[in-house]
Amino acid sequence: MKGICRLPTDDDDKIANVSIAVSTERQAAIATAIGSWHFCAHDFSDDELLLAAMVMFKHALSMPQLERWRIPAGDNLCYSALGWISEYLNQDNVIEALGAEVSNYESCNFDINRNFLFAGDWFQPFHRLVPGLLEKIPVLIYAGDADYICNWLGNRAWTEALEWPGQKGFNKADIKSLTVADDKKGKEYGKVKSSGNFTFMQIYGAGHMVPMDQPESSSDFFNRCYLPVPSSSAKLKAGGGHTDPSSSYGQGTPHGRFPPDNSNLTEEQLDPYFNAFEASSKDLESLLTGPMEKVNRRTVSHLQSLAADLCDLGSRFNGFALSEPSATLGPAIERVGQAADSSYIATEELAGSLGASFAEPMRESAQFAGVVRNVLKYRQLKRIQQEQTNDELNRKK
């Protein structure tokens, strides 16, 4: 094979179905590494043990196979476009425009990578965080079938092994074909498996950077809302084939926040649109009350501190000017003090204007988004109540 993260050529073997024969000694090393990993999964407070387990895995499983392959020359991790990205982001005008607080961009900094490794970070059982995420938001795991380092076989294995309330339903879910919505020929570009809030995808003909290798396919599965409907709608029965994400794969029936025509749609068919709008309102509220609010508060605080410093500086220069005996130096110092006073007034006005014209409207918008979300949530609860009542009436018939 010629690479571990780019697409295979016609002369390459298919990475997806490689079966590597290993020696008895190698098998023993792999078993030891797996045993150490299981131990780490139960006690991940020992950084030295985590590092030792990682080293065992690296030498027992990964590196012996990599040595057999010819990796393309260069420092762009098998993708030349990563070099173009670095060249663009390292331009002085781009750094200045982005307000970056560093002087150099690297797509992969191996010093930082090594520090994470030595801290035992690679073997931390982060999969334990996924069940908590699934309770709140949809989770999509996808991988290209030509990706070695994050291969689709391993990703599918851990998604099926993950312990969460919907594990049985996910493992029993059918594996369905992925096709581009607008492609009349229905060309298959991958496989999908989905249940509840959890979705796994295998994308054909893609390496580590799936959107770069298969842009049309990536755009399709992102834009067609292939993730499960989030928020409180999990209690609603599937309506119109939308609340079960796997039912819409390859059918070309995407839905957004607003229906194209709601005059002929039932309440059940409108549920996915209300759910999507509720999720968007929640995202907006979180955005306005999260990082943006913090940055705004810090900016106003820094401007007020700067204004106070300029005020103090102006008074000091004015005091120096009064005590300066030189007929030429005294007026010059006074003008510097006047400039500091003018800057103080302008900065004070800027801080006040920022608070009045940006911070306050932003808070009001966040409050409004919260009200909208609560109204939509109330509708959702009433819909659940309606369905429960209908079910009860049907049972009594």
- Chain-centroid distance of CA 243 in Å reads 22
**What are the residues whose beta carbons fall under 8 Å from the beta carbon of 65, sequence distance 6 or more?**
20
pLDDT band at 321 (very low <50, low <70, confident <90, very high): confident
- Listed residue (307, 309, 288) closest to 351, CA to CA: 307
What number is the average pLDDT over the span 291-302? 76
Q: Exposure string (b/e) for 96-115, b if CB count within 10 Å is 16 or more?
A: eeeeeeeeebeeeeeeeeee
State how far the Cα of 227 lies from the Cα of 181, in Å rounded to an integer.
15
Sheet holding 139-144, edge to edge: 139-144, 198-203, 188-195, 176-179
* Through-space distance between the first and last CA atoms of the chain, rounded to whole angstroms: 66
Least reliable range by pLDDT among 83-87, 127-131, 264-268, 320-324: 264-268
Least reliable range by pLDDT among 14-18, 58-62, 132-136, 220-224: 14-18
pLDDT band at 144 (very low <50, low <70, confident <90, very high): very high
- Listed residue (146, 144, 142) closest to 7, CA to CA: 146
pLDDT band at 240 (very low <50, low <70, confident <90, very high): very low
Instruction: State residue 89's pLDDT score.
Output: 92
Q: Which range has the top average pLDDT, 62-76, 79-93, 265-279?
A: 79-93
pLDDT surpasses 90 at 159? yes
State how far the Cα of 72 lies from the Cα of 341, in Å rounded to an integer.
62
Instruction: State residue 18's pLDDT score.
Output: 38
Instruction: State residue 295's pLDDT score.
Output: 74
Please, what is the average pLDDT of the chain?
74
pLDDT surpasses 70 at 150? yes
* Residue written as token pair 């409004």: 368
Between strands 139-144 and 198-203, the pairing is parallel
Instruction: State residue 76's pLDDT score.
Output: 62
- Listed residue (40, 39, 32, 38) closest to 57, CA to CA: 32
pLDDT surpasses 60 at 9? no
Q: For 333-369, write each residue's pLDDT tens digit.
A: 888 888 888 888 888 888 887 777 767 777 777 777 7
240's tokens: 């119109």
What number is the average pLDDT over the span 223-227? 56
245 vs 38, more confident: 38
Sorted by where each begins, the domain ranges of the chain are: 15-69, 288-388
pLDDT surpasses 90 at 5? no
53 vs 139, more confident: 139
pLDDT surpasses 80 at 56? no
Q: For 376-386, write each residue's pLDDT tens digit.
A: 777 777 877 77
Whole-model pTM: value is 0.50
C-alpha pair distances (Å), 256 with each of 17, 182, 222, 229, 273: 37, 16, 12, 11, 6
